[in-house]
Amino acid sequence: MRVFKKRRNSIQISRTAALKFTPVKNIQISEERLESGEVIVHYPITLRPWFAGLVKRFGGTHDGIRPKPLQLDKLGTEVWELIDGRRSVSQIIQKFAQTHQLQHREAEVAVTQFIRELGKRGVIGLR
């Protein structure tokens, strides 16, 4: 057993470079629109093998993949609609700041946090 694990070098991207990326929606997700205009995104999650076995035993799905809902609020829905596979992160920020009369920096923090959160869940990817 190794006591001191060597830390993996994570890829460091500069802020400017990160803002140039274009967010793209995962093709495996499905969207549902509520009456209020807000969106619920259903994204797939892979169950842990032991839990998938348990689900299977009780007559659940066999592939170990389940959709999970994620309800977006009004602002989240707006950003979600701006993600069209063509606009870069920086363009989305600009549009968002313009719509709500926000300062660019404030809009940047809000939008990048949201995009990071979606990325962590695998709802979107960056290219």
Distance CA 25, CA 28 (A): 9
Q: Is 117 in the site for another protein (CB under 8 A)?
A: no
Burial class of residue 92 in the structure, from the number of CB atoms within 10 Å of its CB (0-12 exposed, 13-18 middle, 19+ buried): buried
For 127, residues 6+ apart whose C-beta sits below 8 A from its C-beta are 21, 22, 24
Residue from 74, 81, 85, 116 touching another protein (CB under 8 A): that is 74
Q: Are 66 and 44 in contact (CB under 8 A)?
A: yes
- The correct pick among 2, 9, 103, 120 for binding another protein (CB under 8 A) is 103
Residue 83 sits in the site that holds another protein (CB under 8 A): no
Q: Which residue number, 18 or 75, has a Cβ lying nearer to another protein?
A: 75
The residues, any chain, with a CB within 8 Å of residue 114's CB and separated by 6 or more, are 75, 76, 79
Among 31, 84, 106, 117, binds another protein (CB under 8 A): 106
**45 Rama class: left (phi>0) / alpha (psi -120 to 50) / beta:** beta
The minimum distance between CB 39 and another protein, in angstroms, equals: 15
Note whether 113 binds another protein by CB under 8 A: yes
Residue 105 is a binding residue for another protein (CB under 8 A): yes
Determine which residue in the list 39, 41, 82, 107 makes contact with another protein, applying CB under 8 A.
Answer: 107
Residue 19 near another protein by CB under 8 A: no
Site residues (vs another protein, CB under 8 A): 74-75, 100-103, 105-107, 109-110, 113
